[in-house]
Amino acid sequence: MNRELPILMSTPMVQAILEGRKTMTRRVIKPQPLEFYLPDSDRIKALLKVPKHTIKLQDRGNSDFIHILPAPCYQVGDHLWVKETWRLSSHKNGDECPCYKADNMCFCGRPSLAPIEGPLWKSGRFMFKKYARLWLEVTAVKAERLDQISEEDAIAEGTPIHDFFPVNTARLAGLTTVSYFAQLWNSINGKTHPWASKPWVWVYTFKRIDKR
């Protein structure tokens, strides 16, 4: 049986999923991986004591190093229900239904009567599973340094450059999808894991599924 687990998404990322632009997400590995230098016998002894629920990953640039990573939160085949910004909205017949900020649509498929801007929105952290309208299935998992993201993966993250800047302006400014993704990353994670710190991240690839 597939595991069903929650995943928190910001409003722009929910919009990207709804539009079919986002099929990948990166999450900081916590705690960050340990590094062991293999030729050192003391380190090898320590390596043997690493808990079984961890993953050993060879360093790309130096075969003498091995990284010890905690197991990822999500595995291939897991079903994830998206936690997004929401509120309860009333319809003309008096029924209450969960509504989502990403598109101001309700769980029942009808648009909300309330304006999209207002003080009643609740953080996705407090959304219940029964109100989830978006379900994702994990199709691939990998670990890498944040700055190793490719242009292709940056687009799969839901941040294509042409959606935010005119193409000519982007070229003149030397902007790429990766550079825009870096700015977006820092706006969300800059205080704890800024782009420049090159944190290790889990990269989850997913597809939308219908579980309603």
* Structural domain count of the chain: 1
Range of the domain at 104: 86-122
CA 97 from chain center: how many Å?
Answer: 27
d(CA 149, CA 168): 23
**Which helix H or strand E contains 3, and what residues bound it?**
none
d(CA 69, CA 15): 31
pLDDT surpasses 90 at 6: yes
Query: How many other C-beta atoms lie within 10 A of the C-beta of residue 209?
Result: 13
d(CA 80, CA 124): 14
Higher pLDDT, 144 or 42: 144
The answer to whether residues 151 and 177 touch, using CB atoms and an 8 Å cutoff, is yes
Ranges 64-68, 175-179, 185-189: which has the least confidence: 64-68
Residue 107 lies in a domain: yes
- What's the pLDDT at 39? 58
Residue 32 pLDDT level (bands cut at 50, 70, 90): confident
pLDDT surpasses 80 at 46: no
Cα angle 212, 207, 143; round to 5 = 130
Percent of the chain with pLDDT over 70: 75
Residue 21 lies in a domain: no
Higher pLDDT, 112 or 142: 142
pLDDT surpasses 80 at 208: yes
Mean pLDDT of the region 159-166: 61
Residue 55 pLDDT level (bands cut at 50, 70, 90): confident
Higher pLDDT, 86 or 50: 86
Percent of the chain with pLDDT over 90: 51
Residue 142 lies in a domain: no
Tens digits of per-residue pLDDT, 79-123?
999 999 999 887 766 678 899 999 999 998 888 877 666 668 999
Tokens of 193: 């894991």
Residue 97 lies in a domain: yes
The terminus-to-terminus CA distance of the chain in angstroms comes to 17
Mean pLDDT of the region 34-38: 64
Residue 184 lies in a domain: no
